[in-house]
Homo-oligomer: A and B are copies of this chain.
């Protein structure tokens, strides 16, 4: 990047708080970042000085380019403190972009305000490897999560209101209202209901021509309340909304119903934002979302409710990827934010495609020129490889047609000691002794967790680099243990990285390894591309796909399908939805469904309690054991640390 202006780091030890580091760096104007990234002036829409939306036109304009290198950052089974995956993503981008002077994009998810004000804090990376300004990153950015919430909840309101009206009105009254009379006496079909009219094979010109039976078919979705899977969402950790009874006011005439809220980032609309490939594709996916079944067993969709156009209108700006920058001024795409435990855990296909083209090379150049000119897109999958990474490969890559060139697995001495039998690590409490002093034996035992993630990743035919995210209490002997275990498990390399303390220069060795690996220059690497999915979607049953993930990835001995799940399998199979990939919601703190099982549990019985159909997103969503789809707040919460100072700056986000 010849015109790239690097923001110089002013490294300080001990490392100050994230928000102090962020505040002390003056970012470039976002239009400058965009220009340096190859985005044209009319393709960027600034939102304030440091954030912008990028039009999808970029992808078309650069379609002839060969993609840049696609680097997937994943991790080991984490502690509640996180093991620095986002920090590594950003640090690596700073190293490749600012130190090596190559094009490098960090592609990350928009953080949810649930964890931001709960326990976890910000998600912009940390220390000297951050997205800045970190307070803007951790608040609304350009409002995409809010748009997702509105779209999700409009559909919920439409569904419940429709049921209310169907229960309180006769066919003719519903028909008169749904197809209002025009001045000339004819009747109008609202544009949003035309797809349903077409699906039912009715006359689209004149509702007055419909028979009584046809009128009834049109006006009655006849939802079976027991089958409703669509829940409302809020982007907060509000445990009180997990289970609620609605329609409890007198105006709703006793039509109470049990339901609940999920966190917004678990919404199917969020998954669609992450997986869609164009505005048209998003529109179609939103229309296909299934909210319930009718009493006769037919799926009821967003399109049936006449909502899909409105949802698309709400989401029409959210579909444009957001651009920000790292602490060293390299570009960052922040787009979509599905959680990796209760959703697919990946940033958007569109941001990745856009970045891969911007980092790409023109056709017709030599291999050497290509190596010289190729840029890097470092994209993150949430939680550990076996959760976020598995979904990235089996769901996101299946949807995008892309495959990563390198998989990075981020490991820390701390988390591996947990897997070697160390005491529980809690947010907000001082670390037990074993995490503050050398303990090679405990660490060696814990490396089994890392080894399992490496071998899981290798199953997809992609080479693995282990990034050892250095912490101040680590020793060289401990790093040697991790390195040895990584190579023994089949990693191409394992490299210590100190980007939290030193920014991009701390990730210099890691960047070198990643570049080398992306160009297949390690002697151990095959020159072939061997990418493959874990399972095929066609021709295998829902059970078989879930079993493939649970047994081959998680190490389960068997899968137990609880009654609700069995019923759903029958229902979805009969509705023709069995050919979809699977997203399993489960705890992020173990390979298994049980957060207490550290290391590499095997042979356990893996319980699937329910399955939902995310037909718009394009997968079935299986809920393991007692996984919650909206977190709660702790007694002492992140929000209690937050204040806005006299200069209007946010303090206390970490």
- Residues of chain A having any CB pair with chain B under 8 Å: 45-49, 53, 113, 117, 135, 139-140, 142-143, 146-147, 149-150, 153-154, 156-158, 160-161, 164-165, 169, 174, 177-183, 190-193, 232, 234-252, 257-258, 260, 279-280, 283, 306-307, 309-310, 312-314, 316-317, 428-430, 628, 632-644, 646, 648, 650-653
Determine the distance from Cα of A172 to Cα of B650 in the docked complex, in whole angstroms: 31
Determine the distance from Cα of A264 to Cα of B246 in the docked complex, in whole angstroms: 18
- By a CB distance below 8 angstroms, the chain B residues around A143 are 140, 142-143, 146
Closest to A308 in B: B643
- Closest-CB distance, A281 to chain B (whole angstroms): 12
Q: Say what secondary structure dominates the interface of chain A.
A: mixed
Pair A191/B641 contact, Cβ less than 8 Å: yes
- By a CB distance below 8 angstroms, the chain B residues around A158 are 633, 637, 639
Determine the distance from Cα of A181 to Cα of B235 in the docked complex, in whole angstroms: 29
Known: A317-B139, A642-B313. A236 touches B428 (CB 8 A): no
Closest to A173 in B: B635
- Closest-CB distance, A126 to chain B (whole angstroms): 18
Pair B313/A181 contact, Cβ less than 8 Å: no
Pair B307/A636 contact, Cβ less than 8 Å: no
Closest to A255 in B: B240
Determine the distance from Cα of A182 to Cα of B429 in the docked complex, in whole angstroms: 7
Closest to A249 in B: B243
Sampled A-B contacts (26; CB under 8 Å): A46-B48, A48-B53, A140-B317, A150-B236, A154-B236, A156-B238, A157-B633, A180-B636, A192-B642, A232-B241, A240-B246, A242-B251, A243-B247, A243-B249, A244-B244, A244-B245, A245-B245, A248-B258, A251-B628, A251-B632, A279-B644, A283-B644, A307-B639, A309-B639, A310-B640, A313-B643
Determine the distance from Cα of A252 to Cα of B260 in the docked complex, in whole angstroms: 13
- By a CB distance below 8 angstroms, the chain B residues around A49 are 45
Known: A239-B161, A249-B260, A429-B180. A309 touches B652 (CB 8 A): yes
- By a CB distance below 8 angstroms, the chain B residues around A147 are 140
- Closest-CB distance, A249 to chain B (whole angstroms): 3
Pair B157/A635 contact, Cβ less than 8 Å: no
Pair B652/A191 contact, Cβ less than 8 Å: yes
Determine the distance from Cα of A169 to Cα of B634 in the docked complex, in whole angstroms: 12
Select A153's contact among B165, B236, B280, B643, beta carbons within 8 Å.
Answer: B236
Determine the distance from Cα of A237 to Cα of B154 in the docked complex, in whole angstroms: 8
- Closest-CB distance, A237 to chain B (whole angstroms): 7
Determine the distance from Cα of A113 to Cα of B158 in the docked complex, in whole angstroms: 13
- By a CB distance below 8 angstroms, the chain B residues around A643 are 191-192, 309, 312-313
Determine the distance from Cα of A160 to Cα of B632 in the docked complex, in whole angstroms: 10
Select A139's contact among B165, B314, B428, beta carbons within 8 Å.
Answer: B314
Determine the distance from Cα of A161 to Cα of B181 in the docked complex, in whole angstroms: 50
| Chain A to chain B: the 5 pairs with minimum beta-carbon distance, closest first | A243-B249, A309-B643, A146-B146, A190-B640, A310-B639
- Closest-CB distance, A140 to chain B (whole angstroms): 5
Pair B113/A240 contact, Cβ less than 8 Å: no
Pair A312/B644 contact, Cβ less than 8 Å: yes
Determine the distance from Cα of A641 to Cα of B190 in the docked complex, in whole angstroms: 5
Most B C-beta atoms less than 10 A away, residue of A150, A637, A641? A637
Closest to A307 in B: B639
Pair A244/B248 contact, Cβ less than 8 Å: yes
Pair B240/A157 contact, Cβ less than 8 Å: yes
- By a CB distance below 8 angstroms, the chain B residues around A240 are 157, 160-161, 164, 246-247, 252, 257
- By a CB distance below 8 angstroms, the chain B residues around A646 are 280
